[in-house]
Chain A
Amino acid sequence: MERIILHSDLNSFYATVECLHNPEIRDKPVAVGGSVEQRHGIILTKNILAKKHGIKTGEAIWQAKQKCPGLVVLPPNYKLYLYFSKEARNIYNYYTDIVESFGIDECWLDVTESSKLFGSGKKIADEIRERMKNELGITCSIGVSYNKIFAKLGSDIKKPDATTVITHDNFKKKVWPLPVSDLLYVGRATCKKLMNIGVYTIGDLANLNIGFLKKYLGKWGEYLWTFANGFDETPVAKSDFDSVIKGIGNSMTTPRDLVNNEDVKILLYVLSESVAERLRRHNFKSKTIQIYVRDNELQSFDRQAQLSDYSCISNVIAQKAYEIFLKNYTWEKPIRSIGVRATDLITADTNVQLSIFDDEKHKKKKEQLEYSIDEIRKRFGHYSVQRALFLKDKDLNANPIEDNIIFPISYFR
């Protein structure tokens, strides 16, 4: 049976929520941006009026203000956005239990079965839109189709507050004329490659020979070809589907540039503590540590190394990270942003090979200590127990766990 899949996209989500709460700015160009002082000063979302001035997501706030002097820039309020995202999911859950989030403001819904109860896909989509407007005061555009890719494309075609239906009969007319860059997973690099061989629209891509495309783009060529022809059969993951964690990482853009090893050491410890805490919270131990460094001219690189043993101790992770850093950075430029990531995970209670050269008792003791610190922090707050190292520069200290940001997870799992 043909599936009915909805893709709902909350229109300029952050900006709409802010406008809802501040009626006086509704008729002005509004953008939500990070804090300039903390150097996160880029546009996160803009409303339709701001879009008309040519403001783009991701550009610096000062650039945006040049384009549009009257722009109202508001700081983000993630708690509020999360609340609205959850309420929106509650509405989706009324219609189906198969809801898959893709970032904070997008969801796929599989309503194949529930269409017997609630009517056609278009009817459900219109009802969801109406409820969003009445109950949450925000708008969404919904794409209705028989696969996830076309549903997502559909939600982009008409904005805001609209339903687009893409069927077997009309996809050639609706989807194929779109530029190929609109397709999921056609980024800047792939787009350029496709342009080189004269592929400008999704239709061009669909009509290519699959064998040729596979040779030209590798495995991705085949995927993209299936996407373009609507042959994609990826299921919508269930709402209570917990994705498998493959790695845990934190990164930070610092309030000031890092200029020496001492600064980097402080930051690596801050990040490692948070990574280690999250490892313990999810009952993991990791063997491979990666660091990510970006200098003040936005050049970045990743390096990784293995630990001698699986671990969730912040000291071990931080020392390894610092070691990798010293080996790989020559201080040609100051550093703007830095990250630590732990991959190669096993669950913490798996049996592991002990070593006769290491002091296993000491290791166990350290682990216990860290668990105790977690307990203390849970009761008295993150800053109740601190490393003395962090007192050296208070600006660099932070709690990355609480400033968590949600990214869309990969389409393939």
Chain B
Amino acid sequence: MKKISAEVIAHFNLDGEIIPLKIKMNVDGEDKVYCVDRPSKPVKGASLKIGVQGNRYSCLIDGKRVFLYQNHENKWFVEI
């Protein structure tokens, strides 16, 4: 399991929900942009493996199921 910080482009809808659309993260020393496919509704969640707590989105990135976390300081992390 790896914890990777990510920049996020998101859609804020009229209900105040945040839906991530694209993320940019650094993989193996290279910045890459990925689409966030089929993001779930956020649930509160914590990952002891990577040490994050906050809103958790389950989504598909590059065809793989991953968790996307938004913590209480509005920082975003990907758990791969």
Which residues from chain A sit less than 8 Å from chain B, CB to CB? 20-23, 26, 80, 83-84, 87, 133-138
Contacts and interface: CB of A to CB of B under 8 A. Distances in A.
B27 interface: no
B49 A135 contact: no
Contacts of B46: 20, 133-138
Interface in B29-58: 43-53
B45 A23 contact: no
A133 B47 CA distance: 10
Given A20-B51, A21-B51, A23-B51, A135 B72 contact: no
Given A136-B53, A137-B53, A23 B72 contact: no
B45 A134 contact: yes
Contacts of B47: 137
A87 B45 CA distance: 11
Given A136-B44, A136-B46, A137-B46, A83 B72 contact: yes
Interface residues of B, number: 12
Contacts of A21: 51-53
Interface in B50-71: 50-53
8 contacts: A20-B51, A20-B53, A21-B51, A21-B53, A26-B48, A135-B43, A135-B44, A137-B53
B48 A137 contact: yes
- Residue among B44, B49, B50, B52 with the highest chain A CB neighbour number at 10 A: B44
Nearest to A133: B46
Nearest to A137: B46
Nearest to A17: B53
Nearest to B53: A137
A23 B53 contact: no
Contacts of A137: 46-48, 53
A133 B49 CA distance: 13
A68 B43 CA distance: 39
A23 B44 contact: no
B54 to A, nearest CB: 10
Contacts of A22: 51
A72 to B, nearest CB: 14
The 3 closest A-B pairs by CB, nearest first: A137-B46, A135-B44, A23-B51
A26 B45 CA distance: 19
Contacts of B53: 20-21, 84, 135-137
Contacts of B48: 20, 23, 26, 137
A133 B48 CA distance: 10
Contact of A87 (B43, B44, B50, B52): B44
Nearest to B44: A135
Contacts of B45: 134-135
B7 to A, nearest CB: 21
A84 B72 CA distance: 10
A302 B40 CA distance: 59
Given A20-B51, A20-B53, A83-B72, 16 more contacts: A20-B48, A21-B53, A22-B51, A23-B48, A23-B50, A23-B51, A26-B48, A84-B53, A134-B44, A134-B45, A135-B43, A135-B45, A135-B53, A137-B46, A137-B53, A138-B46
Nearest to B43: A135
A134 B53 CA distance: 9
A291 B48 CA distance: 46
Contacts of A135: 43-46, 53
Nearest to B3: A23
Contacts of A23: 48-51
B20 to A, nearest CB: 20
A335 B29 CA distance: 55
Nearest to A21: B51
B18 to A, nearest CB: 18
